Amino acid sequence: MADIEVERNHGLSFDEARVKAKQLLAKVQQKYGVVVDYVEGASQDVATAKHMGANIKGILDEQTIRFEIKLGMFAKPMKSKIKEGLEKNMDKYFA
């Protein structure tokens, strides 16, 4: 079970949402040095990453974008800050 789960309806076409998702992930990669594995599907894309004790999974479909983060022991004290940053960026890219 994920420690952090954030989901948003994106209100975009799937192709537009895919572009936004890739922009968001590029920002995360650049800022934090996270290596993201992004797999495109016909109706759902899945991004996965591991960074500093956190396992991250992002799921984009035709209506929603969802992130699930499982935090390691040392990252758990930062849970609220991580969730707040994720929500802020999701709102920025998908509002």
Domain segments of the chain as ranges: 4-84
Task: Supply the DSSP symbol for 62.
Answer: S
Nearest to 79 by CA among 70, 88, 89: 70
pLDDT score of 33: 86
Nearest to 37 by CA among 23, 57, 20: 57
Give this prediction's pTM.
0.89
Local confidence pLDDT in tens for the 95 residues of the chain: 899 999 999 999 999 999 999 999 998 889 888 899 999 999 999 999 998 888 999 999 999 999 999 999 888 999 999 999 999 999 999 87
pLDDT score of 77: 92
pLDDT score of 75: 87
pLDDT score of 46: 98
What class, spelled out in words, does domain 4-84 have in CATH?
alpha beta
